[in-house]
Amino acid sequence: MRGSKKAGVLIKDYEKSLLNAFRDSMLCNILNPKVILMYLALMPNFVTLEFGM
């Protein structure tokens, strides 16, 4: 039962669930081909060739 747990344990469970949600969403976005194409299309606009190798 969640009500019988201490407040510190509930906070840790909440932080763990937020971390899991963040990790899952990042993995989903990294593997999404539309996101990859968006980054490939937008990144050249922000890269300066003078600072490159």
pTM here is 0.45
Average pLDDT, the chain: 78
Write the CA distances from 41 to 17, 33, 45, 47, 52, integer angstroms: 33, 12, 8, 12, 18
Task: Check residues 28 and 7 and name the one with the higher pLDDT.
Answer: 28
Residues of the chain above pLDDT 70, percent: 74
At 24-40, the pLDDT tens digits run 989 988 888 998 898 88
Residue 8 has pLDDT above 50, yes or no: yes
